[in-house]
Amino acid sequence: MQRSMTVTYEVGDNLYVNLTNRCPCACVFCIRTHDDGAYGSDPLWLEHEPTFAEIRASFEARDMSRYREIVFCGYGEPLMRFALVCEVARWLREQYPGKPIRLNTNGLCELYAPQEALADGTGAAEKLAGCIDKVSVSLNAGDAACYDRVTCPSGHPTNAYETMLRFAAGCKARGIATAFTVVDVLTPEETAQAVRQGESMGIPVHVRAYID
């Protein structure tokens, strides 16, 4: 496994942000099981989790006018550093006004994010609505059994699927442009069921190809 301090990296005409390698899931399709980077990036396994100052320096070293969107994604679940995502996103809004900010997440922060970040009684979706424009939530399945098989949330909580759905619904309700993703490792019937789940919530579902 190769490590680096790749905090930001280009994917197409977007700039992606890599804040952590922590993730409570072990998705069967996770690129981290068979690569060190993504889309031709340098290794995304971090030497250490970047500080706010290191993140800011990574943005300031770039010509930000070249990028269409900023995307919190990386080689881990960004919301394992929930408070930092909000802090960085607020700073990005000030520095690069009008630049859309997207978050790619497993939607399980209410189960796994450091709870002090959520302890003031303001829900996760409401906090994110103040600093994020778009969210892409890993739907992964059309029911809880399929979700648990594909996503493998740590500790095997019985409510992971419903927690993820509730998070996505909360984001949509608070005005964040919300989308679901499904990776094409499901059967056609399972994929159709997942798409119906998204449609029943008024949230579009993007089925993407598995990256091998």
Token pair for 38: 């993504």
Size of the site for ligand SF4 (CB under 6 A): 10
Closest of 113, 104, 129 to residue 181, by C-alpha: 104
Determine if 32 is a binding residue for ligand SF4 (CB under 6 A).
Answer: yes
The CB-of-23 to ligand SF4 minimum distance in angstroms stands at: 3
How many other C-beta atoms are found inside a 10 Å radius of the C-beta of residue 116?
9
85 touches ligand SF4 (CB under 6 A):
no
Q: Check residue 76 for interaction with ligand SF4 (CB under 6 A).
A: yes
Helix (H, G, I), strand (E, B) or coil at 8: strand
Ranges assigned E (strand) in the chain: 3-4, 8-11, 14-17, 45-46, 70-72, 101-105, 134-138, 177-183, 205-208
| Site membership for ligand SF4, residue 57 (CB under 6 A) | no
Q: Is 41 in the site for ligand SF4 (CB under 6 A)?
A: no
Q: Is 26 in the site for ligand SF4 (CB under 6 A)?
A: yes
Chain residues binding ligand SF4 by CB under 6 A are 23, 25-27, 30, 32, 76-77, 106, 138
